Amino acid sequence: MYKLVINANEKKSVINRNIYGHFSEHLGRCIYGGLFVGEQSDIPNVKGMRTDVVNALKNIKAPVLRWPGGCFADEYHWKDGVGPLEGRKRMINTHWGGVVEDNSFGTHEFMELCAQIGCEPYVNGNVGSGTVQEMSEWVEYITFDGVSPMAEWRGKNGRTAPWKLKYFCVGNENWGCGGNMRPEYYADEYRRYQTYLRNYGDNKLYKIACGPNGANYEWTDKFMEIAGKYADAISLHYYTVPGEWKSKGSATDFTTEKYYQTLHKAFKMEELISNHLQIMNRHDPAHTVDLIVDEWGTWYDVEPGTNPGFLYQQNTMRDAMVAALTLDIFNAHSDRVSMANIAQTVNVLQSVILTDGAKMLLTPTYHVFDLYKNHHDATLLGSWLETGEIGEGDFNIPNLSATASEKDGKISLTITNLSATDTADMECALVGAAAGAVSGRLLAGKTDDKNDFDTPDTVCIKPFNNITSTADGIRFTLPACSVAEITLG
C-alpha cells in the first residue's frame, strides 16, 4: 500500500494553463495535411482548417499554439506568406526534407487557426536569417491599429482590425539551427531585436528569448547576465531521446529496459528546470523572468518507410507515461514555469493527434492532456507521495507521480503508475477537505499499446470506478502503466 497525503490547506502556485500548450511547425505533415488542408479539400474544414483536428484540440482546451517553428522559424520570411495565394513565394524547407513550401499557410491562416481552436497565438520570429526590420514589421502588421504601411497592407490582405498577440519569441535554438551563435553574441542580438518589438495600443508583448539546450548552463548564465532584464521569459528545449541521436530506437518496438530508460531520461526534466532556475535566480532575485519549455517530448527513429526529414513517429502508452510525469514536473514548478509546448501537435514527434488523409486518431499522449485539463489555472496543492523504486538495468525511477490541484471548490488528482508490470494499491488521505462526491477516469494499457488507423480506440479513457471512501480520504488500485484522474468534492 502506497500513501498519498493531499493538504488542501497548503495552497501553492497557480498552474498556468499554458503549461498544456502545443507547438506547430512547418515540418513534415504537421501544418499541411495535419492542421490545414485548404478550402478546396474534400476533408471537412472551415477556411482550410481540419474540423476534426480543431475539435479535438478544443476538447483538451489547448491554451496556446507556437508557430512557425522550430528551426523553420529562422528561415521563415513572413512577408512571403501573406497576400493573394497565387502571388505567394515558394521556398525550399531546407531543414525538413528539402520539400517545397508554398506559403499557403501564413500569418492570417495561423491567426484563424488559433481563433477556431480558441487558443492564444505564440509567434516565433527569425533572428538566424532575418532582420530587425522584418521582425519589427511583423509585430506592426499583426497588432498595429492605425495608419501605417503594415496596417494598411494587412487591410488590403483582408483584415482591417489588428489581432491581439502576446507571446513572441526572438529566434529559435540560436545556439544551433538558428545561427550557431555563442551566448554572448545572441544576448546582444536579443537586446537589439527586442528593442524594436513595440507594444501598439493596448497590445502588450510577452518577450521570450531563446534559452538553453538541455544542460547548457553556460547559455542561461551568460544570457541572464547580459540580457535577462529585457526578457519576460527564456525558453528551454529538452527532448527525451532513449539512446544516441544516430539510433534513437523504435517508437513502438522496445524492451522493458528501453521503457525504463525512456522514463529515466524524461525525469531529467526535473534536474534541468531546477538547475536553470537556480542560475536565473542568481541574476534575477526578484523572479521577473519566467522559464518556459517550448519544446519537449519523446524523439525516436521515424516510422519505417516514412521521410526521415518529416519526423513522423507513432505513440504508445510509454509516451503517455512520459507526458504524465513531465506535466507533473511542470506543475510542481508552476511558480516559475509559465508555459510549455509539447512537440508537436500533429504528425511530428510526440504528437497528440495523427492523421492519414481524411482519417484522424488521438494518441495515448492526447488522452493524458485530456485527463489533466482540470489542472488548467487551478491552484497547486501541497502533497506528499510515498513511492517505491522500479526499473531495469541502470534505469531506476520512482514508481508513482502525481499532481493535486484545487479549482472552484473541487480537488483534482492525477496520479500515474509508471510500473510496466505491477499494480499499485493507494491510500489517499485528505487534510483540510472532505472527499465529498468522487469520480474518476482512467487510461491504462500495456507499455507498447497504441492507436492506429485500423483500431483507433485501443487506448482510450474509461471510467475509473473502484475508488472507495475511507475515514479520511479514498483508497484505490492503479493498474500497471496507467494514469488516473480523480475528482473530489
Applying CB under 6 A, the residues found at the interface with ligand AHR are 25, 69-71, 172-173, 295, 343-344, 349
Nearer to ligand AHR, 70 or 391 (CB): 70
Q: Which residues pair with 167 in a beta bridge?
A: 122, 206
Catalytic residue among 109, 173, 189, 485: 173
Nearer to ligand AHR, 121 or 128 (CB): 128
CB of 74 to ligand AHR, least distance (A): 9
CB of 421 to ligand AHR, least distance (A): 32
**Centroid of chain to Cα 485:** 20
CA neighbor of 461 nearest in space, from 440, 488, 441, 481: 441
CB of 110 to ligand AHR, least distance (A): 16
Instruction: Check if 173 is active-site.
Output: yes
Instruction: Check if 389 is active-site.
Output: no
Nearer to ligand AHR, 344 or 482 (CB): 344
CB 334 within 8 A of CB 457: no
Nearer to ligand AHR, 306 or 487 (CB): 306
Is the preceding omega at residue 40 within 30 degrees of 0, hence cis?
no
CB of 168 to ligand AHR, least distance (A): 16
Nearer to ligand AHR, 116 or 345 (CB): 345
Nearer to ligand AHR, 107 or 344 (CB): 344
What are the residues whose beta carbons fall under 8 Å from the beta carbon of 408, sequence distance 6 or more?
Answer: none
CB 360 within 8 A of CB 52: yes
Residue nearest to ligand AHR (CB): 70
Nearer to ligand AHR, 183 or 445 (CB): 183
CB of 99 to ligand AHR, least distance (A): 15
Report the C-alpha gap between 434 and 472 in whole angstroms. 7
CB of 214 to ligand AHR, least distance (A): 11
Report the C-alpha gap between 382 and 240 in whole angstroms. 28
CA neighbor of 333 nearest in space, from 364, 370, 296, 388: 296
Q: What is the DSSP string of 335-397?
A: TTEEEEEEE-SBSSSS-SEEEETTEEEE-HHHHHHHHTGGGTTPEEEEEEE---EEEETTEEE
Q: In residues, how long is the chain?
A: 489
What are the residues whose beta carbons fall under 8 Å from the beta carbon of 84, sequence distance 6 or more?
Answer: none
* Sign of the dihedral through C-alpha 196, 197, 200, 202: negative
CB of 96 to ligand AHR, least distance (A): 8
Catalytic residue among 137, 295, 406, 485: 295
Query: Nine-digit cell at 464?
Result: 475509473
Active site residues: 173, 295
